[in-house]
Chain A
């Protein structure tokens, strides 16, 4: 019985990791950069929810506003910090991303202070199935994240923009020659990534309703790990990596003797996978031409 609940909790945490990992993996696949500020978009989403749930008392409205503002910040971040560096060395972009991350964290601390804020979006309670007491948020998280992933896959496969995204990720120069506006595609990617991060912040706050300026860094690192495990650049890989990491985390937390080593176990999995399959589970092998 405990096993079922733990498994469900793992899937729901994994769903959240997968959503965030998608943001990392899509940006990497299309813009060929690691957006380390991605985790902090979750934090921004959390604070927007904090402000608007407090102001309006309307969770749905607050979620829509959070998604909207996260997307706005996502594209402004891209336009202001990353676009001028298009063509610069990957290292410069990486350092910029870390800078943006610190900028967002410090900004949040200046505006909201260092003390954590508590955000109750909605108290969903629990449902009882026989002897199982299941928290509703984990079901909601799992179902919604799976729906979003299906939607995203359909979007990428069947829309013009989605196919353009695949084209850009496969060969930027060729895509440009074929008339695809690469800059627009990158903007759309950041838009989608930030939307997913906003949704992830909702799920996080349903689970642990606490928000602080550094709130996004740990989930960010975990989701990045998930993206690398799954194969960075690969969308199904990010989902797989997210679920895998979520389940491992919840299960190792549920054994008291192993719990202190949860993080170590997760990163050990990363190391092993990188040793066995350097491109991740579903990552494409690239042949270097000399």
Chain B
């Protein structure tokens, strides 16, 4: 009997403690700054993207704070590491909410981003991802993209090929990563949109850093135009392995994943590749003029060239776009936009601004708008990284 009483008492005590702790963490924290949350791969194989986003977002936040913040309040960026692993996102999301996140950049990469989308929907947290390109990312109305969704990249690329490319044997090659939603998504839309006058020669691989692409080179060696909806690391491996097998007249054409192929891989000299290398994107990492050039010079002085890529530029724009929409809401009713506005209220305010004709101009585009689904509307830039060697 005594024992039973002891057990019951223990259970009650533990429950009390738990309730107490939860209530403490729930209401104990008051924000003194606007908090923007971010989850991205800060370590691991995809860290080059996560670090670019974190650095650039921090840079934008610092600039906004230096210029006085909003309504006297400063901004704070909280970035947590997900190692491009979707299973880490729920913990990260909880951490961000604990830190008082009011608006977010979501996740840097697609797979974790799909997880983040679901979690943020429950709490109605606004997010605008710089770089998770999957079509499903802005599925719920709290989610927006600054980057082109996969559909748009695959479709834009196929349209470009249909209108501009002539090949003597009508063969268009494509090399994609079958285990990567980004690469596969673009490939599928490209395939669907490609004109029937072309024969699509397909090759694929299954790793983020493939170590052997000899079979793929064999498959694609007769193509005069090869579409590469993959990241620049495997692309550099493919181009090197294809030397001497693929004709020098062939054109390599990719999506935003190829951005940085000429600068970001230490030791890789793009000029050793005889073919033309180009891609369709929204940010030109070698832009000589305009907002992009200004961003590039600021970024490289602060963080070097190693992580300069379109992910970062897009993140920089995301922070400014969120800030811009918040400012518009603030100008309408400054009592509603404070560091203690709940994430859900903030989400409604931001959504109302964006749906109400908010346009944004930044590094990755001018007069940027968003459609009802959360997809971005802006001009694509075709960028030739390296012309064919003479």
Contact = CB atoms under 8 A, between A and B. Distances in A.
Nearest to A252: B215
Contact of A254 (B201, B211, B218): B218
B233 A210 contact: yes
Contacts of B51: 114
B267 A117 contact: yes
Contacts of B297: none
Interface string B118-141: 000000000000000000000000
A33 interface: no
B377 interface: no
A126 B244 contact: yes
B47 interface: yes
Contacts of B12: none
Given A116-B265, A118-B267, A254-B219, A210 B209 contact: yes
B78 interface: no
Interface in B202-228: 202-207, 209-216, 218-219, 221
Given A115-B48, A209-B237, A256-B204, 11 more contacts: A9-B218, A13-B212, A13-B214, A113-B306, A123-B272, A135-B244, A208-B209, A249-B212, A254-B218, A256-B201, A259-B205
Contacts of A9: 212, 214-215, 218
A250 B48 contact: no
A249 B179 CA distance: 16
Nearest to B41: A114
A212 B269 CA distance: 17
20 contacts: A5-B218, A6-B215, A9-B214, A109-B47, A114-B45, A115-B265, A115-B306, A117-B266, A118-B265, A118-B268, A133-B244, A138-B214, A207-B214, A208-B211, A218-B207, A218-B209, A250-B214, A253-B212, A254-B215, A254-B218
Interface range on chain B: under 10, 10 to 19, 20 to 34, or 35 or more?
35 or more
Contacts of A207: 211-214, 241
Contacts of B178: 259-260
A214 B45 contact: yes
Residue of B44, B51, B212, B218 most packed against chain A (CB within 10 A)? B212
Contact of B43 (A12, A114, A210, A250): A114
A54 B267 contact: yes
Residue of A123, A207, A250 most packed against chain B (CB within 10 A)? A207
Q: Which 3 A-B pairs have the closest CB atoms?
A: A114-B47, A118-B268, A260-B178
A176 to B, nearest CB: 40
A275 B363 CA distance: 58
Nearest to B265: A118
A215 B214 CA distance: 18
B203 A260 contact: no
A119 interface: yes
A219 interface: yes
Residue of B46, B205, B210, B214 most packed against chain A (CB within 10 A)? B214
A260 B179 contact: yes
Interface of A: 2, 5-6, 9, 12-13, 50, 54, 109, 113-120, 123, 125-126, 133, 135, 138, 204, 207-210, 212-215, 218-219, 249-251, 253-254, 256, 259-260, 262-263
A219 B211 CA distance: 8
Interface string B296-321: 00000000001100000000000000
Given A116-B265, A260-B178, A208 B218 contact: no
Q: Is the interface of B mostly helix, strand, loop or mixed?
A: loop
B209 to A, nearest CB: 6
Nearest to A254: B215
A126 B245 contact: yes
A214 B269 CA distance: 22
B206 A212 contact: no
A256 B202 contact: yes
Interface string B34-49: 0000000001111110
Contacts of A6: 214-215, 218
Given A114-B44, A260-B204, A120 B267 contact: yes
B215 A208 contact: no
Contact of B265 (A210, A215, A256): A210
B236 interface: yes
A133 to B, nearest CB: 6
B240 interface: yes
B378 interface: no
B264 interface: yes
B205 to A, nearest CB: 7
Contacts of A209: 236-237, 240, 267-268
Interface string B42-77: 011111100100000000000000000000000000
A115 B205 CA distance: 20
Contacts of B240: 208-209
A109 B43 contact: yes
A254 B212 CA distance: 12
Nearest to B231: A116
Contacts of B46: 114
A272 to B, nearest CB: 20
A213 B205 CA distance: 20
A60 to B, nearest CB: 19
Contacts of B212: 9, 13, 207-208, 249-250, 253
Contacts of B201: 256
A213 B210 CA distance: 14
A270 to B, nearest CB: 16
Contacts of B205: 253, 259
B234 to A, nearest CB: 8
B88 interface: no
Nearest to B42: A114
B243 interface: yes
B29 to A, nearest CB: 32
B241 A208 contact: yes
A256 B203 contact: yes
A265 to B, nearest CB: 11
Contacts of A115: 47-48, 264-266, 306-307
Contacts of B245: 126, 133, 135
B252 to A, nearest CB: 16
Contacts of A260: 178-179, 204, 206
